[in-house]
Structure 1
Amino acid sequence: MISGQQLSGFRIAVTSDRRSNELIEALQRRGAETTHTPLLRLAPLEDEQFLLGQTRRVIAEPPAVLVVTTAYGLRRWFDTAEAADLGDQLGRALEGCRIFTRGAKALGAVRALGLTVAGSASAGTSEALLELLRGEVAGASVAVQMHADNDRPLARDIRRLGAAHVVKIEPYRWLENSGDPQISSLVEGICAGRFDAVTFTSAPSVHTLLTAAAARGLLPTLVRSFNERVQAATVGPVTAEPLLQAGVHSPLVPQRHRMGAMVLQLVIALSDQGTLSVDTARGLCQLRGRTLSLNNQDCTLTPLHAEILRCLLQARGNVVSRDELATSLSSLPSRHALDMTLSRLRKSLPDPGLITTVIKRGYRIA
């Protein structure tokens, strides 16, 4: 594999709206085939009267504590305030606050505004942030910059820590997309193993996918596919949290909560776990996602064909019975379709002799 093409042969679904082009380009530069299905869209900043009302309240009665959950949310709040000629007043109101942040990016955004940070939850999770706030908010007025609806328990938990009252600052609204036909295709594609990985850059987008799958009666199948065949890649622990709660065992969570770190971790994971190399009687066979390379001849397989070939390659030349093969293939229409599917698979290979039939026993790699 030539340098820079580490993801060649892999199909990756991108679910973000904001900065999606940047992510898609990073994946495609590394050879990946991508599809783009935004699970959420950020509502336009056309009518921000509610946010401006919250801003005027903060200016009139500056809180003792400000909790910042996301860098983008803080910047969007200040952009809205400045457009209404309230930016300077908001900045002065926050100068006297004790500011706590969730994660490194939020910390950087606060410092970029020239404000002082009293503490930062480096782990980047709501749990770590609440632990940081323990003993810091008792009897205090607190303003919390919200990320999305799933951050609402954070305001409740801050009240439980003893805050006198909590003002929720909501800089942006997400437009939920779960009924979109494209999302149906994404859910079905994940369940059928048509993707090697799916990327997530926000917790609300994960919630939308899980809601869409549940509405279609496919949530257990979706979770099983993530655990067995499709790699879920997240930008950080906050994004990974709803996947873990749904039962997805090992979503990728980079140590540095950055999109670039997520891409690099995905390269490592797919190269290690998604690539299968076997020396066969027909030469070196390498399966990367849905791309088969046999003696330097490449071909692209259908998801079902790739799944069958992976099962046979993993057996390392041992016979796989028809029943074993049919049981392991979640997308096989019926057991009777197996022989026809194997016939089509052989015809699509650079060398049909790679797969041999063992009479009355099953199939194996030559």
Structure 2
Amino acid sequence: MRLSNIKKVELVNIKEKFKIIGIDDEIGVIKTLKVILEKYGYEFEGYTDHAKGIEQIKNNHYDLLILDYLLDNINGTQVVELIRQFDKELYILFLTGHSESAPPLETLEKNDIQGYCTKSNDQSQLLLLVKSAYNVVGMMNEIRLTRNGLNCILESVPKIYQLQPIDVILEEVLRNLLHIVKSTNAFIFADNIFGQEGISMESFFKGIGKFDTDINTFTKMFNPSLMVHAGSARMQKQRVQYEDGVFFPLINDKAECMGVIYVELYNDKNINLLDIFAKQAASSINNAFLHSLLNIKNDELNKTYEIIKSRYEETIDTLRLTADAKDDYTSGHSDRVARYAVEIGKCFSVLNEKDLDLLRVAGIFHDIGKIGTAD
């Protein structure tokens, strides 16, 4: 199902997800509330026994409680106090028989009760308050989702910025991504990491869920339509929706696109958070590749150093043998001087390995002048 079609279904059924519970000792009031609220698309269930109602709230999720202020065996305020012991966020409206019996403002504020409504034949006041509750609860849920999503991003940053193998980082990025949006399927495809000519870097792929497969199988899943949308996200450097998912470009600090993240997304509630997370993911992936490139360069330098050192040792050895060939009588003399110099040097704690090697070379070369002396 396309994302646009899903949105239409959500708009039709959105009130059905708004769960209302009512507690009133008059069964007639409960039946009336059920007829009125379900007529306008709300999901409602009611109880005449306050203890059963409290138990239901404790074991299930509800968005709104419509509570009789003056129950037969207990005051509505006492019921609220019991509920607030385990649920601080439930939106509560009091029902009162007459305006004269309305709860005092101090009671409403103390127990975080959002309002009250008088029982009457006029439905407009009740419906207005319920609609207001629906809007407020929806807004609070959005704020909560955003807050939780941002917390997930903040918690994930230290993990994805650790210097680990690129496969480990990509998997960490995907796991944290799915945790934010409560999805199950996603993948990262990255290449052209540095955006520089002359540097050839292989492409990297990592999938999770149904995309957790090898690159050959993934290539078969990556149909032409997916390719077009992935390319569009890279070229435009902005997210692109594709049926039941979204492509996010991976932009490095040079504003170059390194690849894309794709995640199956059945609603767009956290889509802006994913934009933020994609930027963090791109930065961590770029850092990992820069670190890999640095390691490659360091390895090349170490190999070059070893070659130079080997040539240096060969040159010293050649000169030593040349000096020995000049005079059979003193053959091996320079080697012995070098060995004794090193052994004596070891007696001095201030000398390190580099100093001892310098002594060895000096011992070998101390008679180098013999090469230029006539026989």
Quickly name the TM-score band, shorter chain normalised: 0.3 to 0.5
- Higher relative CO (Cα under 8 Å, sequence separation at least 6) belongs to 1
Structure with max Cα Rg: 2
What TM-score results when the alignment is normalised by the length of structure 2? Answer: 0.33
Higher helix share: 2
